[in-house]
Amino acid sequence: MKIKTIKQNLSLLLSCVLILTNVANTYALSSIRADKNINITARETSQANVVYLKNGEGSLTLGNGTANNPYQNIRTALKNIKNGQTLKLVGTVSYTKYEVDNEKAPLPLMINKNITIEGSSGKLPTDVDADGLVVRAP
């Protein structure tokens, strides 16, 4: 008789554990979905504050600064970016073709806005294929 009672109690205990595990998993999944929705909303909101740049020395008129159509020239990107926005570099962005003044001295690249410059791939700066800005020393 005791063995039958032990089996019933064990069966009841395992059923309770199974039910509690399912409830915990359901709660965890719904929490993860909520976090993803919050992250997506935050990312969409912040996209308005991001300007994308690829190449750096391309056409002054190509691109509109979006992720799908980044600016191709760094001067165009810097002209159109606003204070507080982020300039995301797509791949290696070059600025080696300096404009020159009347005495043929290279003009510096002026960044006179309060902006953040970062890579778009999320790779570390120490990674071989990280996004970056390459300039030529005058």
60 versus 9: the higher-pLDDT residue is: 60
> Which tens digit of pLDDT belongs to each residue from 76-125?
999 999 999 999 999 888 888 777 888 888 777 888 899 998 888 888 77
Residue 52: which pLDDT band, with cuts at 50, 70 and 90?
Answer: very high
List of E strands, 1-131: 50-56, 71-73, 86-90, 92-95, 116-119
How many residues belong to the chain?
138
pLDDT value for 45: 43
The residue extents of the domains of the chain are: 1-47, 49-135
Residues 6+ away with beta carbon under 8 Å from 52: 63, 65, 66, 67, 70, 71, 87, 88, 90, 120
pLDDT value for 73: 92
pLDDT value for 17: 63
pLDDT value for 27: 55
